[in-house]
Structure 1
Amino acid sequence: MAITMTCHSLTWTDRDGIPQASVVSYDRPSADHRKTRLEGEGCTNAQIVETKPGELPKA
């Protein structure tokens, strides 16, 4: 049985209105946790983006 690894990154807009993107990959539960923290810090438009290993999301 093959195991498929899925990587997730985040994009968001910070409190100053500047688009941001994470430079690390997360598993899904960690990405959900980070999204919650970003929203709690006042960031908007936080989205979890599925990425390939070594790939960065576009801000």
Structure 2
Amino acid sequence: MDNYRVKWVRASDGRPMVSAVSYDLPSAEHRKTALETEGATDIEIVKVRPGQ
């Protein structure tokens, strides 16, 4: 299984963020959609190695 993290810039203060957990691709895409709804910008799904 491939693992993914989500990176984004928080809308409230412009702070760059990275997910604390790894997701499978459908879950990462769901998280991206939720972040878009919250107003986050520069959202990126990044593939990572297991345990990274």
Could you state the TM-score of these two structures normalised by the residue count of structure 1?
A: 0.83
Identity of aligned residues (%): 51
Partner of 2:6: 10
The total of aligned residue pairs comes to: 51
Higher helix share: 2
- What SS class does the counterpart of residue 34 from structure 1 fall into? helix
CA RMSD in angstroms comes to 0.6
In structure 2, which of residues 32, 35, 38 is the aligned counterpart of residue 35 of structure 1?
32
Partner of 2:22: 25
Gaps spanning 5+ residues in structure 1: where? none
Higher strand share: 2
Gaps spanning 5+ residues in structure 2: where? none
- 1:21 maps to a residue whose letter is V
The list of structure 1 runs, each at least 4 consecutive aligned residues, that deviate by more than 4 angstroms after superposition, is none
Could you state the TM-score of these two structures normalised by the residue count of structure 2?
A: 0.93
